[in-house]
Amino acid sequence: MSTIHVDIVSAEREIFAGEAEMLFAPARLGEVGILPGHAPLLTQLKPGEVRVQLKGGEQQAFYISGGMLEVQPKIVTVLSDTAVRAHDLDEAAVLKAKQEAEEALANNTGKLDFTKAQAELAELAAQLQTIQRLRRRGG
Partner 1 sequence: MAVGKEIRVKIASVQNTQKITRAMEMVATSKMRKAQERMRAARPYADRMRNVISHVAGANSEYRHPFLVARPVKRVGIIVVSTDRGLCGGLNSNLFRMLIQHLKRWQAENIEFEVCTIGRKALQFFQRVGGKVSGQASKIGDAPHLEQLLGPVKIMIDAYLEGRVDQIFIASNDFVNSMTQKPELEQLVPLKPAADAGLAQYWDYLYEPDATEVLNQLLVRYVESLVYQRVVENIACEQAARMVAMKSASDNAGKLIKELQLIYNKARQAAITQELAEIVGGAAAV
Binding site for partner 1 (CB under 8 A): 7, 9-14, 17, 27-29, 39-44, 67-68, 70, 72, 77, 79, 81-83, 90, 93-98, 100-101, 104-105, 108-114, 116-118, 120-121, 124-125, 128, 134-135, 138-139
Rounded Cα distance between 60 and 58, Å, is 7
Q: How far is the CB of 61 from partner 1 (least distance, A)?
A: 20
Note whether 48 and 26 are within 8 A (CB): yes
Residue 79 · residue 67 · CB < 8 Å = yes
Residue whose CB is less far from partner 1, 59 or 82: 82
Kindly give, in sequence order, each residue whose CB lies less than 8 Å from that of residue 61, ignoring residues fewer than 6 positions away: 49, 50, 51, 52
- Choice between 58 and 129, CB closer to partner 1: 129
Residue 17 vs 55, nearer CB to partner 1: 17
